[in-house]
Amino acid sequence: MAYIVVSDVHLGGKLCNQKEFCDFLKWVRGLVNKTETIKCKGKDVTIHSPEKFILLGDILELWDPRDGNRDNVIGDSILPFSLLSDINCDKIYVIGNHDDSLGELEGEVDDVALPNGKKFDIYDRHYPEKEKTGISGGIKIGSQSYFFLHGHQFDKEQAILAWVSRLIGESWNPLGWFQDLYNTLFTKKHWKASFLIFSALFLLGGYFWNKLLPPGFPNTLTWASLAGTTGSLIYVIVSAIILLFFLMKGLFALTATLFVILLGGWFFWEQSSFLAIIWGTLTGFFALSSIPGVVASTQRKFYNLLKSKDKTVEQIIHNGYYRKNKDTIRANVVVFGHTHFADYYGPDADTGNRLFINSGCWYGKDKLIDKKMRYSNTFVYIDESGAYILRWLGSGNIECLEAFP
């Protein structure tokens, strides 16, 4: 029984190590034919082909893709997911914060059978799922039990998002909303020009409306005077026929939309307010087609202000990120990612006698932080003999960073 755990690849992101990750996946795929023995704290550890491969969140970068363009996520994902599919084991995808919209797929992507007979499963929050008692037990491997989650749940900077999400019963993420709006082809291509048009319409419109509109805007026509004119009678009859036609075709949404437009036309036709509606609609269109571009191009700086990246596990435990009293996990070892820092802490009284292991990331370069090396391209290997934080050096070379026998 062996598990391999990776997190925070951020495929589609600006600094993702997609090539190294693919090389690593090819190496894992090859483990089916030969085992690999490495030195770990003076001991030989044999790495076997895994039974389960856990993708522990933020595998895809849906919040902040390169150039704000989610097509880059698809482009970066084709090879890794095809390689993953080839690896002779089940895959567990646990959702992180940068790929949280995929949580909606938890019920859809449920033990999907891959061509080699292995399975692909999505878990919205953690693996394994909570038991009915509300307690989260672990997976027994050797003498330990393990619990896997991405780790943004420990993050106080994410607390406001989590709090609102719980309140409204669905995932709340305002920047994600802009990201959704930005990722329409027209907006991606033309948001700068749209912003100019929006600014012009907004400023010039505001300036000229006083002069264009007659006093007493909005001037309204009465229903009686409308009904009295032949023109509006024809308008009503033609409208009714059109609506009835679509209604009988069973196109209810289209009928409702046309009803609103035709009713609006009846109210506002021949009035200056009709012009105002056209102006408002155009201004709104160009606002929605440009403001998300402004947000998408500045949000990385915004995220850098509030992210808990590069925190060590000890900082997570001691700086109020992790709250022991809220913890319902019943496992000896908690494996998580999110902070991009392959590291560990515990077990001690502050962790409820649990060991916390961070799987690190496949993003950016190695970096010295507070005299401690923060390595990229790391993973966690678990078998009956214990857990190991390992580092991919390329070409099948593995360095052991920590061992927990």
In the complex, the smallest distance separating the C-beta of residue 97 from Mn ion, rounded to whole angstroms, is 5
What is the phi/psi pair of residue 28, to 5°? -65, -40
Stretch in the footprint of Mn ion (CB under 5 A) among 93-101, 240-248, 342-350, 393-401 = 93-101
Q: Which residue in 50, 68, 80, 96 binds Mn ion (CB under 5 A)?
A: 96
Contact positions with Mn ion (CB under 5 A) in 325-344: 338
Q: What tokens were used for 153?
A: 């749940």
Chain centroid to CA 268: how far? 43
Residue 403 CB neighbour total at 10 angstroms? 17
Binding status of residue 364 toward Mn ion by CB under 5 A: no
- 50/302 Cα distance (integer angstroms): 39
Stretch in the footprint of Mn ion (CB under 5 A) among 53-61, 81-89, 198-206, 322-330 = 53-61
Contact positions with Mn ion (CB under 5 A) in 31-50: none
Binding status of residue 13 toward Mn ion by CB under 5 A: no
The closest of 335, 404, 399, 367 to 36, measured between CA atoms, is 399
Contact positions with Mn ion (CB under 5 A) in 198-257: none
The closest of 61, 76, 89, 72 to 5, measured between CA atoms, is 89
Binding status of residue 346 toward Mn ion by CB under 5 A: no
Nearer to Mn ion, 97 or 187 (CB): 97
Binding-site size for Mn ion (CB under 5 A) equals: 5
In the complex, the smallest distance separating the C-beta of residue 366 from Mn ion, rounded to whole angstroms, is 19
Answer for the pair 375, 360: CB distance below 8 angstroms, yes or no: yes
- Per-residue x/- track, 126-165, Mn ion (CB under 5 A): --------------------------x-------------
User: In which residue are the tokens 């669905």 written?
Assistant: 170
Nearer to Mn ion, 360 or 386 (CB): 360
**Residue 344: DSSP 8-state:** E
Interior/surface letters 35-64, b for 16+ CB within 10 angstroms, e for the rest:
ebebebeeeebebebbebbbbbbbbbbbbb
DSSP secondary structure, 255-272, as one string: HHHHHHHHHHHHHHTTSH
Which residue lies nearest Mn ion, judged by its C-beta? 338
- 351/332 Cα distance (integer angstroms): 10
Nearer to Mn ion, 95 or 398 (CB): 95
Nearer to Mn ion, 159 or 200 (CB): 159
Binding residues for Mn ion (CB under 5 A): 58, 96-97, 152, 338
